[in-house]
Structure formats: structure tokens, C-alpha cells
Amino acid sequence: MTLESFDCSEPFGSGYVLARAGTAARWRVSVYRVLAHMETHLEKKQSSEGLASIAVLSPFHFNRVFRQLTGIPPACFLAALRLEKAKNLLLTTDASVTDVCFDVGYSSLGTFVSRFTQMVGVSPNALRRAAKAMNGRDLREFVDVVKQPRTLDVPQLHGDIVIPFQFEGVVALGLYEDLLPHARPKQCATLQDSGAFAFGGLPCGTYTVAAAALPYQIGPASFLSRGLTLRSASAPTRVDLNGSTRVASLPLRPIMAFDPPILAPLPLMLMSRRASRASRDFEQAIGAEAHQRG
């Protein structure tokens, strides 16, 4: 069975395993070896049995251990690595979209473009155009809409982000139903300083808060291809309809090998928020003027 046939929608945490320190260390080495293999063989089909043999674990045990360390199944992590590599190739080479499709292990161009657009938020060609338009721009240009998250009377999920004192930039927060940050968060917010965040109006369910840092001194286009240096994520947290749940404080930290790639092009999300706000402000101004004339 190939990993492509696995269901990536299974909730995180169903296979959580506890282990002694020595055993856990061996498991980390095993999973790290598998991740290195994935990254160097993205163009090849992978099977659960084949990856388990690299980890020197049984397929069932390998899947449980992999989920414990990364938060998501091997199939989802592999798919994310492929899309992350596709982003890099699109923005750092002149390779055609078709060539990129095959280089990262897809056999169908239509499937690749559809999946890329779904998870990254824009099509491959649109990402290339956006990077060219943002080349040389400063992230401060898009910060005029960045505000502290609004205070909710009864926040269903809330907590604090701890930003390193030397950091200067924007922190983007996304609320997800899994640990793979992509272009479809349930809700999003931004912070420029350490502080509180809150999300409300949620249906009952289990959610994860993901945070990623965007320093001012590195242009937006760089993040579209090179990824991020600081991030954080909460443990999956259950939210009830009328309750208020606090997650542990989330200090931003350097990215680790077991972190799933962040597929969302965060600078584009900031641009989108700015454009949407400008459009709303214009419509409100026109409406107010019409009202005065009336």
C-alpha cells in the first residue's frame, strides 16, 4: 500500500504513545532518518512498509511513533514536504509547472495544481507572479492592518504568545483543526508584541493554534520560498460550545526537524487582509457620503 492512499483527515493524537527517555530518543533518531529519506526522495512513491523498515519499526508502531513526534501521519507529512519543495522550485528556478509537478512526485498535473492551490492558497503560477510583485518590498508596508486580536467577552479558546525580545516583525496566528498549517485556517489573527490572543464563535471540536514569525528585515518574497525561522503551536485542545478554554503560553522557538512545513504564504495573507480592509473602508466611505447627500 502506498502512502498516497492513507486518509490524512484522521484527528491528531489518536495514537499517542508514552515511552522512557532512552526509548523516546531512539524513536526520534528513527523518525529523523525517515524524514531525511523523504526529503531526498520526494519524487518516488513511498510505502508505509518501506518507511517503517527505514525506521526499523513495525508499520503499525512506526505510524504511532511518527504521529507522536510530528503530530500528523507520515502521508500528510510527505505531502506537505512535496508542496514545500514545489514552492521552492517555483520561486528559485525557471522550471515549468509541469516539471515541478513531476520533480516532487506527482504523476498528474491537474492533481498537483489542485492540491497546491488548496493547501498553499494560490495556484503555482499565481505564487510566482506574487513573488515578483513583492520583490524588494518591506513587510512594514502591510502592517497598517495588523492590530491586537480583539477582546472577546467569552472567548472559547485563548492564550498568550511569547515573542523573543530581539524579534521585530509580525506574528501570524492561525486556528486549525490539525497540526498542518495551511491556507485554510478556521480563524486568524496577528500580533506585533507578546500578548494575548482569543478565538470565539467556534463549533464544538478540537483545535490547534499555530503561530509563525515574519521579521521585518527579511522581505516578504523570501518567506514564499525559504520558510520561517520561528514558530510555535499548541497541543490539540477541545472546545465546547459554552466553555472557555485556555491553552498553555506559546513561546516562539526555532523550527525543529519534526515540525510540519508551513504551507500558507503568510505575506500574501497579510496583503489580502490589507486589500480587503481597504475595499471595506472605501465602501463604507461611499455609503456615508451617499447618506449625507440623501
Residue 13 makes CB contacts below 8 A (sequence gap 6+) with: 67, 206, 236
Per-residue pLDDT reduced to its tens digit, 99-120: 999 999 999 999 999 999 999 9
pLDDT value at residue 235: 87
pLDDT value at residue 124: 95
Per DSSP, the residues of 110-159 read HHHHHHHHHHHSS-HHHHHHHHHHHTT--GGGGGGG--PPPP-SS-SEEE
Whose cell is 528559485? That residue is 92
Per-residue pLDDT reduced to its tens digit, 277-294: 433 443 443 344 444 444
pLDDT value at residue 169: 86
- Specify which residues 209 forms β-bridges with: 175
Low-confidence ranges of the chain (pLDDT < 70): 1-21, 142-155, 226-227, 269-294
241 grid coordinates: 460550545
Domains and CATH numbers, the chain: 3-131 (1.10.10.60), 139-280 (2.60.40.10)
User: What backbone phi and psi angles, to 5 degrees, belong to 188?
Assistant: -145, 160
The answer to whether 3 and 51 have CB atoms below 8 angstroms apart is yes
Q: What is the pTM of this model?
A: 0.80
Nearest to 80 by CA among 267, 266, 260: 260
- Which amino acid, one-letter code, is at 30? S
Q: How many Cα atoms occupy the beta-carbon half-sphere of 137 within 13 Å?
A: 18
Per-residue pLDDT reduced to its tens digit, 179-226: 888 888 888 888 888 888 888 888 889 999 999 888 887 777 777 776
pLDDT value at residue 15: 37
193 grid coordinates: 508584541
